[in-house]
Amino acid sequence: MAEPGVYDLKGLKCPLPVLRAKKRLAGMRPGTRLWLETTDPLASIDIPAFCSDEGHILIERESAGEGHRFLVERGG
């Protein structure tokens, strides 16, 4: 499997991180992975909910500096 890319969503406030992640993931093949990097505190709630609602898999989440990183696998 290829190394996951990184999508920098830092500095964006709700709902933009989810909206941009949705658009980026829509253009990817099912099974591919993408790191989402955010600084919005609400992303820790919004990104997992988005994954659940859209059928994507949240593989990993971690704190990163002033924000969070989420490894998401595109659902299919």
Cite the active site residues.
14
* CA dihedral over 12, 45, 47, 38, signed as positive or negative: positive
- What is the C-alpha to C-alpha distance for residues 27 and 49, in angstroms, rounded to an integer? 20
Tell me the three state secondary structure of residue 2.
coil
